[in-house]
Amino acid sequence: MLDQLEHATVGEIVASDYRAAGVFQRHGIDFCCGGKQPLTAAAEAKGVSVTVIVSELQHLDGAPAVAVENGTCAELIAHVVDRHHGYLRTAFPTITGYLEKVVTVHGERHPELASIAGRFRDVREELESHMYKEEQILFPLIEQLERSDTGRSAAPSGPPVAAIVEVMEAEHTSAGTVLAEMRTLSRDYVVPDDGCATYRACYQSLAEFEADLHRHIHLENNILFPRATEIDERVRGF
């Protein structure tokens, strides 16, 4: 078991039991954009003993819940759109409003707030465009490929899934970089002593935004995209 975990990738470990995400988050290990890293390499990069991490993984309490990862591509896509895209569309205006208020009230004493607001504005614009491309181009293509794979539809035309996925993963990496920058600027979303209730709500919302996006990217990079690429290779020979 120890050898198996050490040589598995971070994404594979979280895909098999999502409770592992909490272990990786505690140690600052990226399981979404960095999900293709072997656990040994990820631990070494963070200066953490892989033995310690494996021990924590082996002692997770309870049985893992039945995960959405076990469903079809269509079911996983529906979950991503309803749960994660839906969350983002609600969170974007809420967090933008919080940031505008705290920059106005606290920006002079805490200039990092303006930098955080600017980065959030950038990641919002990027993700809104990103979601549109997924919902209008990539996801319908994957769903048709899955139907074709089971004989329920003709094979689709268009570019290979792998080419589109490459673009989507690059955009995920870009978003992940911005998340890391916002966390650094906010000092891990610790509210300063003079922070008001809105300040606290803002940082809490940003931390929740980060956690949800990590889960979102993990589901796509480590579960949906590899599965869809495999189906495309089987159906269309790409």
Tell how many helices (H) and how many strands (E) occur in the chain: 12, 0
Cβ neighbour number for residue 116 with a 10 Å cutoff: 24
DSSP state of 8: S
- Considering only residues 6 and 213, tell me which one the structure prediction assigns the higher pLDDT: 213
pLDDT at res. 171 = 97
Question: For residues 37 and 57, what is the distance between their CA atoms, to the nearest angstrom?
Answer: 17
- Tokens representing 14? 């979280």
Cα angle value 142/147/149 (rounded, 5°): 90
pLDDT at res. 2 = 46
| pLDDT reading at 65 higher than 90 | no
Residue 41: which residues within 8 A CB-CB, separation 6 or more?
none
DSSP state of 135: I
| pLDDT reading at 192 higher than 90 | yes
pLDDT-derived band at 59 (thresholds 50, 70, 90) equals: confident
Q: Crossing angle of helices 197-218/161-185, nearest 10°? A: 150
In this prediction, residues 31-51 reach a mean pLDDT of 88
In this prediction, residues 86-114 reach a mean pLDDT of 97
- Report the amino acid identity of residue 168: M
103 CB-side CA count, 13 A: 14
Residues forming a β-bridge with 38:
9
Question: For residues 3 and 130, what is the distance between their CA atoms, to the nearest angstrom?
Answer: 38
Residue count of the chain, please give it.
238
Of the candidates 32, 59, 42, the residue with the CA atom closest to the CA atom of residue 8: 42
- Report the amino acid identity of residue 238: F
Of the candidates 162, 160, 143, 19, the residue with the CA atom closest to the CA atom of residue 78: 143
Share of the chain above pLDDT 90, in %: 67
pLDDT-derived band at 1 (thresholds 50, 70, 90) equals: very low
State pLDDT tens for residues 115-139: 999 999 999 999 999 999 999 999 9
pLDDT at res. 61 = 63
The model carries a pTM of 0.82
- Give the lowest-confidence range in 116-125, 149-158, 209-218: 149-158
pLDDT-derived band at 64 (thresholds 50, 70, 90) equals: low
| pLDDT reading at 149 higher than 90 | yes
State pLDDT tens for residues 178-190: 999 999 999 999 9
Cβ neighbour number for residue 194 with a 10 Å cutoff: 9
State pLDDT tens for residues 68-98: 777 899 999 999 999 999 999 999 999 999 9
